Structure 1
Amino acid sequence: MTRAGELVRQVETNAPGIQIIAMSRSSDPEILLESMRAGIREFIALPFQYQQLEEALRRVQEQLSKRPPAFQTSDLVYSFLPSKAGVGASTVALNVAVALSQIPETSVVLSDFDLNSGMMRFMLKLDNGYCVADAAEHALEMDEALWPQLVTSIGGMDVLHAGKLNPGFRIEATQIRHLIDFMRRNYKALCFDLSGNLEKYSLEIMHESKRIFLVCTPEIPALHLAREKYSYLKSLDLEDRITVLLNRVSNRPVITPEQIEQILGLPILMTFPNDYNGVHRALTAGHAIDTSSELGRRFTRLAQTLVDKRPTPPAAATKKRFIEYFSIMPSRAS
């Protein structure tokens, strides 16, 4: 009974208001008293009559309608959306997730939802045979016993990889919502690496996200597609969640970050220097970027920003003066 009492207290701590029914083959008064002290309102002695169970369930239902359980869930849900293929969004997502996991008391799950060309399994040299498709198929009955088999733990981070090429696989919105709800209850921060193809399940993830990071490089094709995607996401009322992460910035860029903000009409949250050798070494070794490098320090700084509870001042509106000279990126016709 002592163990049962500890379990009840733990459950009540994580989900205040949850209703518990105790069953025992003994109806000893001492056991009943201990159950009441543990906060258990309903007790049924075995074997029981179905009417007893029905009445207990009815009382539990009444209590739940008055005081539904309040699960502790996280709102730190981040989507990483590439403006185009090859801008390094997976590298950014991986290293931000790792940096988040190194912050005390910050458990992280990194999910690769690029079902056509997901790179996390390759980048981290994972050999787990289970993947996103398996998680989606079991989303409605996901629990703490099944989940550890689907993910690979690396330090304070769990990784759910995309699996083998599976272009025909479809994920329903209800599966996405159930998966994210489960993750929110079990992790402090959720990071999603998306394909950039704006599939329905990707849009569902973005709707559930606190921040959407549009990852691009300071190149004309990447900036053009970044603006196209931003325009589309604005039509879905997601513009307030979107900021830019500018990757592979050189010391003397042809197009400066300030000009890119004018082009996109979006603030750049952070720039990342071009470190080809550092990225190559990390890929070869199957781990994150060296945190002592300038690129690694930028990821650490971004992670700290994401968990900082101080309010972020609203970004000032940017004018698009520079875009007048950017003739390769015409405005969409109305």
Structure 2
Amino acid sequence: MSSGPEGEVIRVLIVDDIPDTRENLRKLLAFEADIEVVGAAGTGREAVQKAGEVKPDVVLMDINMPDMDGITATKAISTAVRTAAVVIMSVQSEPGYLRQAMLAGARDFLTKPISSEELYTTIRRVYERNEPIRLQEQQITSIATSAVQTSQQSGGVISPITGAGHVIVVYSPQGGAGTTTVATNMATALMRQDTRVLLIDCDLQFGDIDAFLNVQPQLNITDLTKAVNDMDEEIVNNVLFTHGTGLKVLVSPAHPEQAYDIDPEDVKKLVRILSASFDFIVIDTPTQYDQLTLKLFEVAERIVLVCNPTIPAVRNTRKMLDIFDNLEQPGGLSEKILFVLNRVVNERERGRGTVPASSIESHLKHDVVGQIPLDERSVLTSVNQGVPLVAKNKTRSPARELADLADLIRRKVEAEGGEIEEVPEQTDQRSKSGIRAIFGG
């Protein structure tokens, strides 16, 4: 007899409309020391209610049941109890059933009749696969508890933010600069008890915020842009996905071709409508400079311009800064910019070919307000687990720098007037054979 992770007991909820089937499954699982049946349900609605009460690790879900089928119940449970991994059971093994189950949020599929070994192996497998989500929920709970304790220590007084509806657009003209990492962590770090934050994925063709946060919303931005002229609270609440941190998320379309059906003007209207209900809206964007990004720049209160310390990235950033300076409509974009360097190499590790931040700053004549260190291992682990870096440990780099960036933005927009100090023009007496020769100009 194999066993699950040492010292851990896997809590299972059995859902089937046939009492004999429920009992047979219960008896089979009773032989396994690391598996405990914590409940049973005979209908889909009962399953949703029971899952909310007992918080199982694994749900064995029959697909055909009265009053609410297994697919619908799976969707509801996957949203309400993120730590519950649903395994669909059915006498049907056609690919269509499997696809429906996976889209609903199921983690595996078993065809009846089910052998005991197949049952045990599947339960343990989905439990292990769900480890990142359980870890994330534990960290989220820890963050929430810490916030409550901080509030209590300060006498329970929560200082409301000055104003609301601050729209922060994260953009880079260079592909692979890390805008999604910055946007996701920044939005997470902005979350507080007194702060409502919405994260929007406006990379309409190839956005991946859903993957970065390990969420599977059924609806996306297309559903809101279609209703932008007839918006109500119920529609918005149905489309926005609530992450475990309390962060609201609006994901990009599921299929790239759907982007062509979205009017940039409708996206601009949507952001303005939603800004009335949130303290911060953080928007991730594609690299292209087009009507969509222009509309987003227009409604933004701040533009976080992300650049890597490489020659191609700096050149493209300079082109964008020239565009911002010369645009008449919308005007004033240069004053909105917060310039951030991402994937910065430690001074001791920098080779002769790496461009130092001070040289980039001098050449672009823009102060660098944040430098995010290069740590590919931490970022990759964060993405694969679906847990933002700042939700793991804010005191460790690069999470620390990302959290500091969020704090800086909060201070900027909450400051009276919210003006960014102009960067004085720097005199550069070096010849064009130096930094100017590298970047051009």
TM-score for both structures, normalised by structure 2: 0.55
Answer yes or no: is the 8 Å Cα contact 1:79–1:194 preserved in 2. yes
Using the TM superposition, give the Cα deviation of residue 97 of structure 1 relative to its aligned residue in structure 2, in angstroms: 0.4
Answer yes or no: is the 8 Å Cα contact 2:180–2:209 preserved in 1. yes
Using the TM superposition, give the Cα deviation of residue 226 of structure 1 relative to its aligned residue in structure 2, in angstroms: 0.7
1:268/1:255 Cα in 2 relative to 1: closer, same or farther (>3 Å)? Answer: same
Q: Which residue of 1 aligns with 2:372?
A: 272
Q: 1:87 aligns with which of 162, 174, 177?
A: 177
CA distance in 2 between counterparts of 1:281 and 1:110 reads 21
CA distance in 1 between counterparts of 2:212 and 2:279 reads 23
Q: Which residue of 1 aligns with 2:194?
A: 105
Q: Which residue of 2 aligns with 1:234?
A: 325
How many percent identity over aligned positions?
22
SS at match of 2:282: strand
CA distance in 1 between counterparts of 2:231 and 2:409 reads 28
State whether structure 2 residue 434 is matched by structure 1 residue 299.
no
Q: 1:210 aligns with which of 286, 301, 322?
A: 301
State whether structure 2 residue 259 is matched by structure 1 residue 172.
no
SS at match of 2:253: coil
Answer yes or no: is the 8 Å Cα contact 1:263–1:323 preserved in 2. no
Higher relative contact order (CA 8 A, sep 6+): 1
Using the TM superposition, give the Cα deviation of residue 323 of structure 1 relative to its aligned residue in structure 2, in angstroms: 8.5
5 Å matches for 1:54-69?
none
Using the TM superposition, give the Cα deviation of residue 192 of structure 1 relative to its aligned residue in structure 2, in angstroms: 0.5
* Amino acid aligned to 2:380: H
Q: Which residue of 1 aligns with 2:66?
A: none
Q: Which residue of 1 aligns with 2:105?
A: none
Using the TM superposition, give the Cα deviation of residue 73 of structure 1 relative to its aligned residue in structure 2, in angstroms: 6.7
Unaligned runs of 5+ in 2: 1-161
Using the TM superposition, give the Cα deviation of residue 313 of structure 1 relative to its aligned residue in structure 2, in angstroms: 6.0
SS at match of 2:400: helix
State whether structure 2 residue 237 is matched by structure 1 residue 148.
yes
CA distance in 2 between counterparts of 1:320 and 1:330 reads 17
State whether structure 2 residue 350 is matched by structure 1 residue 247.
no
Using the TM superposition, give the Cα deviation of residue 310 of structure 1 relative to its aligned residue in structure 2, in angstroms: 3.3
* Amino acid aligned to 2:277: N
Unaligned runs of 5+ in 1: 1-71
* Amino acid aligned to 2:426: K
Answer yes or no: is the 8 Å Cα contact 1:93–1:191 preserved in 2. yes
Using the TM superposition, give the Cα deviation of residue 170 of structure 1 relative to its aligned residue in structure 2, in angstroms: 4.5
Q: Which residue of 1 aligns with 2:213?
A: 124
What are the Cα deviations for residues 281-305 of structure 1, in whole angstroms up to 9, with x where unaligned?
Answer: 1111111003232211112222222
Q: Which residue of 1 aligns with 2:437?
A: 327
Answer yes or no: is the 8 Å Cα contact 2:206–2:256 preserved in 1. no
* Amino acid aligned to 2:339: V
Answer yes or no: is the 8 Å Cα contact 2:336–2:420 preserved in 1. no
Using the TM superposition, give the Cα deviation of residue 88 of structure 1 relative to its aligned residue in structure 2, in angstroms: 0.6
SS at match of 1:269: strand
1:73/1:175 Cα in 2 relative to 1: closer, same or farther (>3 Å)? Answer: farther
CA distance in 2 between counterparts of 1:320 and 1:114 reads 38
Using the TM superposition, give the Cα deviation of residue 133 of structure 1 relative to its aligned residue in structure 2, in angstroms: 1.7
1:320/1:283 Cα in 2 relative to 1: closer, same or farther (>3 Å)? Answer: farther
Answer yes or no: is the 8 Å Cα contact 2:340–2:370 preserved in 1. yes
Answer yes or no: is the 8 Å Cα contact 1:261–1:318 preserved in 2. no
Answer yes or no: is the 8 Å Cα contact 1:111–1:193 preserved in 2. yes
Answer yes or no: is the 8 Å Cα contact 2:199–2:282 preserved in 1. yes
1:296/1:139 Cα in 2 relative to 1: closer, same or farther (>3 Å)? Answer: same
CA distance in 2 between counterparts of 1:92 and 1:260 reads 20
Q: Which residue of 1 aligns with 2:287?
A: 196
* Amino acid aligned to 2:207: G
Answer yes or no: is the 8 Å Cα contact 2:173–2:289 preserved in 1. no
1:115/1:318 Cα in 2 relative to 1: closer, same or farther (>3 Å)? Answer: same
State whether structure 2 residue 426 is matched by structure 1 residue 314.
no
RMSD: 2.1
Using the TM superposition, give the Cα deviation of residue 198 of structure 1 relative to its aligned residue in structure 2, in angstroms: 1.6
What are the Cα deviations for residues 1-31 of structure 1, in whole angstroms up to 9, with x where unaligned?
Answer: xxxxxxxxxxxxxxxxxxxxxxxxxxxxxxx
CA distance in 2 between counterparts of 1:294 and 1:170 reads 40
**Larger deviation: 248-257 or 303-312?**
303-312
CA distance in 2 between counterparts of 1:210 and 1:193 reads 14
* Amino acid aligned to 1:233: F
* Amino acid aligned to 1:128: P
* Amino acid aligned to 2:301: K
State whether structure 2 residue 158 is matched by structure 1 residue 158.
no
